[in-house]
């Protein structure tokens, strides 16, 4: 079997647990965490589960639920470790972006249904079907905001930062970090011009604040194919790319999937 670049094992809220599955588990088996299907891949030593751990997960004992092809079930225990994310304070002058009007809230609620549906999308196989690939950065530039930061906007606590911000200049290219298929293209209140890419088995990536998009829904992408250009649409204090990754509907640090961070299984 070919070597696989796997995400770095980081069993913390917002991280990934890479778990070896017991003998007898195969392609006909199913794995789930918190009631949601989990990505599984074969390796020379059997099968592995890649479990996305939500940012809101309470540290401590947890379990992966397995169902074998013959109907047997088994729990695989693992521990979610505590991790302290720092605080980031941001000032935004457009008050409608901080405390949206009633009209804006109706738009946000409509868009939230679409966004959650995209994150919960699950296609049957990885794209491509053979081994999981280590990702590349989708844009070039320094990180201006790390994953998991506990954000305070204009003095008000808000949801943690569920992606990373890449401080690339306006108009810089944004490319696919790995093969996939364009799942959704939209213009949203908070994220501006936005593209979702499906990589299979509940692995979905998100690209926000684009000045323009150059893809269509359903389009197949190879690693390095153009997605759009860096911009500052939506709620943004300046040009940058917000890049997020969702695994079994848990937003996790996308850097864990980078080829430079990956661990290799054979």
Q: Using one digit for the tens of pLDDT, what is the confidence trace for 61-81?
A: 999 999 999 999 999 999 999
Give the pLDDT band of residue 170 (cuts 50, 70, 90): very high
pTM of the entire structure? 0.89
Give the pLDDT band of residue 206 (cuts 50, 70, 90): very high
CB contact set of 65 (below 8 Å; sequence gap of 6+):
31, 32, 33, 73, 74, 75
Query: What ranges do the domains of the chain cover?
Result: 4-80, 87-265
C-alpha–C-alpha distance, residues 129 and 220, integer Å: 13
pLDDT at 107 (0 to 100)? 93
Domain covering 87-265: architecture? Distorted Sandwich (2.70)
Pick the CATH number of 4-80 from 3.40.50.720, 1.10.10.10, 2.60.40.1590, 3.30.390.30: 2.60.40.1590
Nearest residue to 161 (alpha-carbon basis) of 171, 152, 153, 150: 150
DSSP for residue 90: E
pLDDT at 38 over 80: yes
Nearest residue to 15 (alpha-carbon basis) of 62, 73, 54: 54
Give the pLDDT band of residue 97 (cuts 50, 70, 90): low
Q: Which of 51-60, 124-133, 137-146 has the lowest mean pLDDT?
A: 124-133
C-alpha–C-alpha distance, residues 110 and 201, integer Å: 26
pLDDT at 266 (0 to 100)? 39
């Amino acid at each position: 079997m070919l070597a696989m670049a796997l995400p770095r094992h980081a069993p913390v809220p917002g991280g990934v647990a890479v778990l070896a599955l017991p003998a007898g588990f195969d392609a006909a088996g199913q794995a789930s965490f918190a009631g949601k299907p989990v990505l599984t891949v074969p390796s020379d030593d059997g099968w592995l589960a890649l479990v996305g751990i939500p940012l809101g997960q309470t540290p401590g004992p947890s379990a992966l639920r397995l169902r074998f092809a013959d109907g047997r079930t088994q729990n695989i225990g693992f521990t979610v470790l505590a991790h302290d994310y720092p605080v980031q304070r941001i000032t935004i002058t457009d008050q409608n972006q901080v405390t949206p009007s009633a009209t804006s809230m109706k738009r946000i609620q409509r868009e939230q249904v679409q966004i959650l549906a995209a994150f919960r999308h699950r296609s049957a196989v990885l794209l491509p079907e053979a081994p999981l690939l280590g990702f590349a950065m989708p844009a070039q530039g320094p990180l201006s905001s790390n994953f998991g930061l506990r954000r305070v906007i204009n003095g008000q606590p808000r949801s943690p930062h569920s992606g990373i911000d890449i401080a690339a200049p306006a108009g810089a290219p944004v490319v696919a970090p790995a093969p996939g298929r364009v799942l959704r293209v939209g213009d949203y209140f908070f994220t501006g011009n936005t593209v979702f890419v499906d990589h299979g088995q509940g692995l979905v990536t998100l690209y926000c604040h684009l000045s323009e998009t150059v893809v269509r829904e359903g389009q197949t992408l190879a690693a390095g194919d153009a997605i759009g250009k860096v911009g500052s649409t939506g709620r943004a204090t300046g040009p940058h790319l917000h890049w997020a990754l969702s695994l079994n509907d848990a937003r996790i640090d996308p850097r864990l999937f980078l080829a430079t961070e990956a661990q290799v299984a054979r």
